[in-house]
Amino acid sequence: MMAAIEPPLNRRSTRTTLVWLLLMAVATVSTWGVSAGDVAAPLAAVMILLIAAFKIRLVQLHFMGLRDAPLLPRLYFEVWTFAVAGAVLGIYFSAKTGG
């Protein structure tokens, strides 16, 4: 099973570490930058939730291995991420617009 797709493991580990560094950087910006108060609340909400969706997708694809998964499970988890972020944002703005 493994021998058929012998990946360049050293390169994969480098990629995994780069993804982790990106996740740490983006999480730091989201926590102590965007949410600090200088950015208007609605814009901050969009940025914070899009960053969360981006981070989740990175974890799913590069850490969980969904990058090389069959289409159906990958689709489920991709849809989950954007459905959750989209629903939360939709509800957030329905309040802002008095809906």
Partner 1 sequence: MSAAGTSRRLPGVEGVWVFVAADMAFFAMLFVSFALARRDQSALFESGRQALNRDLGGINTLILLTSSWCVAMAVEAAQRNQHKALQRSLWGALLCAVAFGISKAFEYTHELRAGITPLTNDFFMYYFTLSGIHFVHVIAGAVVLGVMLQRARSGAYNREDHRGLEVGATYWHMVDLLWVMIFPLLYLLR
Binding site for partner 1 (CB under 8 A): 1-2, 4-5, 7, 9, 12-13, 16-17, 19-20, 23-24, 27-28, 30-32, 34-35, 41, 44-45, 48-49, 51-52, 55-56, 59-60, 62-65, 67-71, 73, 76-77, 80, 83-85, 87-88, 91-92, 94-95
Contact 56, 27 (CB under 8 A): no
Smallest distance from partner 1 to CB 77, Å: 8
Q: Which two tokens stand for residue 63?
A: 């850490």
Q: With the C-alpha atoms ordered 74, 76, 81, 86, is the resulting torsion angle positive or negative?
A: positive
DSSP code of residue 34: G
Smallest distance from partner 1 to CB 42, Å: 9
Smallest distance from partner 1 to CB 80, Å: 6
- Please compute, for residue 54, the number of CA atoms within 13 A of its CA located in the half-sphere on the CB side: 15
